[in-house]
Amino acid sequence: MACGSHPGHFRLALVTMVHELSRQDARRIAVHAQLLDADRPTDLQDVVRHLTLLQVDQVRAVAPSADLVAWTRLGSAYAPAELGAALAARVLVELQMTVRPAEDISLYLADMAAWPGTVPSPWRDRCRGWVAANDTCRRDLLHRLEALGPQRARDLPDTCEQPWGSSGWNNNRNVGRLLEMMEARGEVAVSGHEGRDRLWDLAERVYPEVDAVPAEEARRTRDELRLHSLGLARARAPVCPGEPQDVGEAGEPAVVEGVRGRWRVEPSLLGRPFHGRTALLSPLDRLVFDRRRMQEIFAFDYQLEMYKPKASRRWGYYALPVLHGDRLVGKVDATADRRAGVLRVDALHEDEPFDEATRAAVHDEIKDLAQWLELDLALYP
């Protein structure tokens, strides 16, 4: 004991190590975490639990994004009917345009009860006021769903007294907007799909009976699960719609060579041997969804160009990023023409010229994609 110290004042200083990662380290951690290395998983439910979510997107330029993400991990043994069956069995559930493990609903119940949140903002105030102004319609929707069971939004009457004003897609789509806010409140849930329409029902008939995890504990747990699925993420990031990009204090601190700022890393992934493979990714795949992280770690230039005029596109309407080992190396401009029964591949964009082995591996993935889609392959000239 130091001279002059007192037992009651003795303290042990704890120093937290900051992990120093090369960009290659960072890339390999991210690929490992997203189940895109050579060690493929074999079970859809395990994949969703590990990734924490599958993004729901009904664009079928190639295939729905959730199915593409599952195929990329599981290979052609995966059948889209598996996802439908898991949702029907309530093993997986849909929440705000994401598919999640049913048990994870417990991590969102506290936020649902506090909707739209305790921190004031003009957007939250607008949503709260609009729902309150249309309380009669909200109650009518609940009564109808209770009596009739799952319904499409278009089949439910619009009795809103105050329309939802927007300069975009949602202008005056009152029932759809109200149902989405009621979903955020935990009153209704997506029970299934009829074509591209969601079927809405009472949340109590869709979600499992689980106890709500207290809000702060739930937030920490969500951060931990998110980091486990991403491997490496910012502690803080700008607020974005849907799933956050940051992970708070989950994991351990890290810095990445050549990249400004501090990161959080999943410690269980540090130092693991890496064996990569080649994969075609959905534009909404979590490996590339955070475009800033994608550029910083992978130095990959990419945008989803489906909303751009055709003349302004560089890579195609729904170009698929190409992963080869621990690098993102190009894009495949592909379209599933189901009427003609073909997968059309109009271009393979090589960010840098591929060697023979890389090109062969990418072509094998393209062939596998066509086989999985049960389409003939029509390659670019």
pLDDT, one tens digit per residue, over 8-40 is: 444 444 557 899 999 999 999 999 999 999 999
Q: For 201-255, how does the pLDDT look when each residue is reduced to its tens digit (9 = 90+)?
A: 999 999 999 999 999 999 999 999 999 999 999 999 988 888 999 999 999 999 9
Q: State which residues form the domain around 51.
A: 19-103+212-379
Percent of the chain with pLDDT over 90: 89
Q: Examine the pLDDT at 140 and tell me if it is beyond 60.
A: yes
User: What CA–CA distances, in Å, run from 368 to 24, 165, 223, 234?
Assistant: 28, 45, 35, 35
Distance CA(284)–CA(65), nearest Å, equals 7
Give CA–CA dist 200/152, Å, rounded.
6
Instruction: Single out the residue in 154, 177, 205 at which a domain terminates.
Output: 205
Do 98 and 113 lie in a common domain?
A: no
3-state secondary structure of 228: helix
| Location of structure tokens 């990662």 | 21
**Residue-level pLDDT at 10:** 42
Quickly state the pLDDT bin for 4 (edges 50, 70, 90): very low
Percent of the chain with pLDDT over 70: 94
Amino acid 29: pLDDT: 98
d(CA 109, CA 184): 9
36 within a domain of the structure (yes/no) = yes
Q: Is residue 242 part of a domain?
A: yes
Q: Which residues of 267-282 are buried (b: 16+ CB within 10 A; e: fewer)?
A: eebeeeeeebebbbbb
Beta carbons within 8 Å of 107's beta carbon, 6+ residues apart = 213, 218, 221, 222
The pLDDT of 281-302, averaged and rounded, is 97
Instruction: Say yes or no to pLDDT of 133 above 90.
Output: yes
Kindly state whether residues 132 and 265 are assigned to the same domain: no
pLDDT of 3 = 40
Q: Which of 230, 164, 185 is nearest to 95 (CA)?
A: 185
Is residue 3 in some structural domain?
Answer: no
Same domain for 216 and 263, yes or no, is yes
Q: What's the domain count of the chain?
A: 2
Q: What is residue 14's predicted lDDT score, i.e. its pLDDT?
A: 52
Average pLDDT of the segment spanning 255-260: 96
The pLDDT value recorded for residue 167 is 61
